[in-house]
Amino acid sequence: MDKLSYALGMSMASNLMNSGLRQLDVASFVEAFTEIMNNTTPSMSPQEANRVIQDYFSKQQDEMLSKNLEAGKAFLAENSKKENVISLPSGLQYEVLVEGSGAKPRATDKVRCHYHGTLLNGAVFDSSVQRGQPAEFGVNQVIKGWVEALQLMSVGSKWRLFIPSDLAYGQQGAGGSIEPNSTLIFEVELLGIV
């Protein structure tokens, strides 16, 4: 039972940390845990407990949304001052690394690309380059920033895209690595129209 209790404590603590909770009043946690395990009346109703939890995580989510949005805006504002960065009315920014000479795809076309996607802090969240396998997809089946950029690129081009959150995954984020309201950076090489 000692090992099981310890293992359950580890599991609960890991789950709480994975949900974004980094600090906890352990004495209050143990008090509530003990009351429930001893089948005594807790100091808080289940409804009140749920409201406190929801309010906390809602506030955390709002703070993260705001923090990521502001970081993205600040980055894009500074990035737009660079001589080789082109800013479009949509908010999309790009830098031409290699100018291709092939055809430009339409929204209805399917393309083959190599790409390398990072967050503002440089963390890689997806990369066909690292996998060593180009990706094929419909131009209109990707995030808005890609849809816009791909139709401006000629086959053979390689661009660095700076995509504001509203042209990326917005408030939903994506997977475990792209937080809500994240501005994304991609290096995209348009290999062909298929």
**Catalytic residue annotation:** 115, 125-126, 143, 169, 186
Q: How far apart are CA 173 and CA 56, in angstroms?
A: 20
The set of residues, in sequence order, having a beta carbon less than 8 Å from that of 135 and lying 6+ positions away, is: 112, 113, 114, 115, 128
Beta bridge partners of 115: 188
Q: For the CA atoms of the chain, what is the radius of gyration?
A: 23
Q: How far apart are CA 166 and CA 181, in angstroms?
A: 7
